[in-house]
Amino acid sequence: MRTKKQLSEDIREHRRAALVVNARSRRGRRLYEGVRARLLAAGVTLLADLPVEGDLEQALTKAIDAGPDLLVAGGGDGTISTAGRMLAHRDIALGVLPLGTTNNFARTARVPLGLDRAVATLTGGTVVDVDLGLAGDLPFTNHVGVGLSADVMLKSPHLLKRVSGRIAYPLTALALLTRHRPIRAVVRAGGREHTFETHQLYVANGGFHAGRPITADADADDRLLVAYAVGGPARADLLRETARNAATGHRRSHQQEPFLAVRELTLETDRPVRTEVDGELSGETPLHIGLDPNALRMMAPPGTPDR
pLDDT tens digit sequence for 144-195: 999 988 887 766 545 344 444 455 556 556 666 767 889 999 999 999 999 9
Q: According to CATH, where is 2.60.200.40 located in the chain?
A: 138-293
> What SS3 class is residue 76?
coil
Q: Which residue from 89, 53, 156, 130 is spatially nearest to 300, judged by alpha carbons?
A: 130
Q: Which residue from 186, 218, 215 is spatially nearest to 205, judged by alpha carbons?
A: 218
Answer yes or no: CATH 2.60.200.40 is held by domain 138-293.
yes
* pLDDT higher than threshold 80 for residue 25: no
In degrees rounded to 5, what are phi and psi of residue 31? Answer: -105, 0
CA distance 89 to 91: 7
One-letter amino acid for residue 172 of the chain: T
**What's the burial of 283, exposed, middle or buried (CB within 10 Å: 0-12/13-18/19+)?**
middle
* Residue 306 DSSP label: -
- In order of 13, 116, 119, 127, the CA distances from 42 in angstroms are 12, 10, 8, 18
Q: According to CATH, where is 3.40.50.10330 located in the chain?
A: 4-131+296-300
* Residue 181 DSSP label: P
Q: Which residue from 306, 302, 299 is spatially nearest to 83, judged by alpha carbons?
A: 299
When pLDDT is averaged across residues 253-274 and rounded to a whole number, the result is 93
CA distance 41 to 33: 12
Mean pLDDT of the chain: 89
* pLDDT higher than threshold 50 for residue 47: yes
pTM over 0.85: yes
**Per-residue confidence (pLDDT) for residue 171, from 0 to 100:** 59
Answer yes or no: CATH 3.40.50.10330 is held by domain 4-131+296-300.
yes
CA distance 196 to 73: 37
**Per-residue confidence (pLDDT) for residue 174, from 0 to 100:** 61
